[in-house]
């Protein structure tokens, strides 16, 4: 299935409804996973240590920056409550209207977010607004519209990006790409994905139980190490990339 064409833009209200329908029940029944358990931690730990003012956007219960000393914002009330209960500073909000002043942060992290919003230009403009000149900005996006599958629909994606498209979008909003890492994965079996979609549609509570207690722990166990590479690098066959950018001053 191809990415949505420009003549048929994503409907913002429908995207919010779809994402809330998927993630609110997911986080309501999930445990918070510490940032140190993810394969992003070796890459982000030093960056976080060097940045006294940090923001992570829409982490759910899978934050990648340290809980202490980081500001979190999420659309999910369940996620915000759980983050607060774990000692984090968390507020309810959306990437398109961040409740902070200009140039408030030295490190901004927004993983797996841009593909979920109708106005990705507006989202990047907000990230640029709250990032101080010279701040590091971490993003991740899925690549290649021709690689669209039912998984993208299932998790509430609006688009996949062509490599040249995401580079142009970053430059337009004042982000200089420094490094990237091959990142993320999605189910490769159409039958397994179809089964998962059926359970999500017909037995959502049971599906969320299996995800949180079986598939998520297995995914953490089998994570592969991540490595930075200069620029965007070769993207042939790459499903998703983690991008390390600097906010131009």
* pLDDT tops 50 at residue 1: no
pLDDT of 3 over the 50 cut: no
Looking at residue 232, its pLDDT comes to: 97
Residue 187's pLDDT is what? 54
Q: Hey, where are the domains in the chain?
A: 12-247
Q: How confident is the model at residue 150 (pLDDT cuts 50, 70, 90)?
A: confident
pLDDT attached to residue 12: 77
Is the distance from CB of 245 to CB of 171 less than 8 angstroms?
no
CA-wise closest residue to 119 among 198, 227, 12: 12
Choices 1.10.150.120, 1.10.30.50, 3.40.50.150, 3.30.70.1400: CATH for 12-247:
3.40.50.150
Specify the higher pLDDT residue, 236 or 22.
236
pLDDT at site 185: 58
pLDDT in tens, 73-130: 999 999 999 999 999 999 999 999 999 999 999 999 999 999 999 999 999 999 999 9
- When pLDDT is cut at 50, 70 and 90, the band that residue 8 belongs to is very low
For 37-56, the pLDDT digits (tens) are 999 999 999 999 999 999 99
Contacts 24+ apart (CB under 8 A), 197-201: 197/150, 197/154, 200/22, 200/154
Tokens coding 200: 């999500």
Per residue in 210-223, pLDDT tens? 677 777 777 887 88
Q: What is the model's pLDDT at position 216?
A: 74
Q: Give the pTM.
A: 0.86
Q: Average pLDDT of the chain?
A: 88
Q: Is the dihedral of CA 73, 40, 31, 198 positive or negative?
A: positive
pLDDT at 153: 82
């Amino acid at each position: 299935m191809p990415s949505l064409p420009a003549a048929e833009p994503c409907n913002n209200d429908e995207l919010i409804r779809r994402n809330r329908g998927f993630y609110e029940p997911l986080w309501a029944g999930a445990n918070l996973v510490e940032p140190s358990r993810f394969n992003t931690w070796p890459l982000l730990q030093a960056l976080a240590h060097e940045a006294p003012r940090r923001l992570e956007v829409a982490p759910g219960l899978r934050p990648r920056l340290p809980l202490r000393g980081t500001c979190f914002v999420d659309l999910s009330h369940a996620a915000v409550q759980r983050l607060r209960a774990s000692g984090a500073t968390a507020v309810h909000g959306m990437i398109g209207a961040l409740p902070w002043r200009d140039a408030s942060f030295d490190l901004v992290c927004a993983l797996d977010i841009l593909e979920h919003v109708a106005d990705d230009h507006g989202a990047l403009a907000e990230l640029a607004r709250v990032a101080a000149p010279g701040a590091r900005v971490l993003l991740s996006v899925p690549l290649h519209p021709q690689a669209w599958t039912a998984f993208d629909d299932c998790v509430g994606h609006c688009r996949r990006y062509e490599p040249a498209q995401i580079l142009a979008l970053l430059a337009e909003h004042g982000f200089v790409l420094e490094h990237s890492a091959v990142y993320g994965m999605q189910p490769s079996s159409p039958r397994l994905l179809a089964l998962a979609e059926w359970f999500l549609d017909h037995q959502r509570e049971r599906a969320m139980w299996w995800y949180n207690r079986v598939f998520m722990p297995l995914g953490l166990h089998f994570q592969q190490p991540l490595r930075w590479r200069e620029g965007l690098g070769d993207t042939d066959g790459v499903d998703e990339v983690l991008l390390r950018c600097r906010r131009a001053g």
